[in-house]
Amino acid sequence: MKPIIPILLLVSAAWIFGGAYYLANTSCAGTSAIAPLSISDGELDFNTGANQHFSFIPSSSVIGIEEEASKAFGNVAKHLEAHPDRQLTLNGWFLENEKNDTEYENLGIARAEQVKSFLVNIDSSIINRIFTTGEQKSAITTINEKQIDGVEFNFSGLTSETSSTGVTESDLTESTTGTAVSSTSNVAVPTFALYGKDEIKQLKMDINLQQQIDNMKSVLDLNPGAYFAVTGHSEASRSEGKSYDLGLIWAGKVRRFFRNNGIKSLEIKALSKGDQEPLVDKDDSDAATKNNRVTVELVLPE
């Protein structure tokens, strides 16, 4: 007969060390296993999902998407494109001890923006019907030092302040549906710019900016159907598409600032021209300040 005790000791050792390794690399928020990725719009009986996931490294907004999860995201974009009366709010999660080195108020919004960017790259027409928020959580499912599926997808019908038409290709470059102007009636039209990353990041209300916003409201009241084009510009980047994304980040931040201060969603659009219209050469000493900018211009309906 073979000795039983050595075998039991061997099994116990394997359990102890294997279990310790598993627990060290796995932390689940209230569950003992990861459920499949599932995204649904209950009102329209839409559901898509995958056995694979998307993830974020702690204190980072850089998204990692596995192949099946990427296909699920594609289905979400198609669903929004097929139903122009629906909007999507992406709620990004973050933990209290995570650092936020992004351009956004919190890491959750930055993560939600990454998902939004992925969806918009699939179909640009849905950009104006995707909104982002952030929420601090006490725990997030973490596997191998990666936070799993840390963004919620919440579908709803369009509110009175959201557009059912989305954004066209002309919205993403230069508007062809209206005329940009520099003055109207007796009100000075705010056509101005913010220069440099610091001015854009640290956007705060002051007397001058309050006057600009008051003027914007007055102009919009006098011109039904008009809107302000908030266009982000960025310095050249070595990464393909990075300049465009940065321009959209700058414009999105300024647009949120205006929305939070009384400008309606339909009356302000965030656009990006990336590095297509630099004010100075990239080697100029002022390139970082002058080429990273956001311009605000009124567009009147034809």
**Identity (one letter) of the amino acid at 35?**
A
Residues 273 and 173: beta-carbon distance below 8 Å: yes
Residue 298: pLDDT band (50, 70, 90) is confident
Residues 91 and 108: beta-carbon distance below 8 Å: yes
Model pLDDT for residues 69-95, shown as the tens digit of each residue? 999 999 999 999 999 899 999 999 999
Residues 301 and 178: beta-carbon distance below 8 Å: yes
Kindly state the average pLDDT of the residues 238-267: 82
Q: Can you spell out the DSSP letters for 199-225?
A: HHHT----HHHHHHHHHHHHHHHHSTT
| 119 pLDDT above the threshold of 70 | yes
| 302 pLDDT above the threshold of 60 | yes
Domains of the chain: 26-157 (3.30.1330.60), 169-301 (3.30.1330.60)
Q: What confidence score (pLDDT) does residue 81 get?
A: 92
User: Which range (108-122, 135-149, 154-168, 181-195) has the least confidence?
Assistant: 181-195
* Element containing residue 156 per DSSP (H, E): strand 151-157
Query: For the chain, how are helix, strand and coil distributed in percent, rounded to 5?
Result: 40, 25, 35
Residue 14: pLDDT band (50, 70, 90) is low
Look-up: residue for tokens 């459920």?
Answer: 35
Long-range contacts of range 109-113, CB-CB < 8 Å, 24 or more positions apart? 109/133, 109/134, 110/61, 110/134, 111/56, 111/61, 111/63, 111/150, 111/151, 112/151, 113/61, 113/249, 113/252
Model pLDDT for residues 99-111, shown as the tens digit of each residue? 998 867 889 998 9
User: Which range (239-243, 249-253, 259-263) has the least confidence?
Assistant: 239-243
Residue 203: pLDDT band (50, 70, 90) is confident
Separation between Cα atoms, residue 42 and residue 251, nearest integer Å? 32
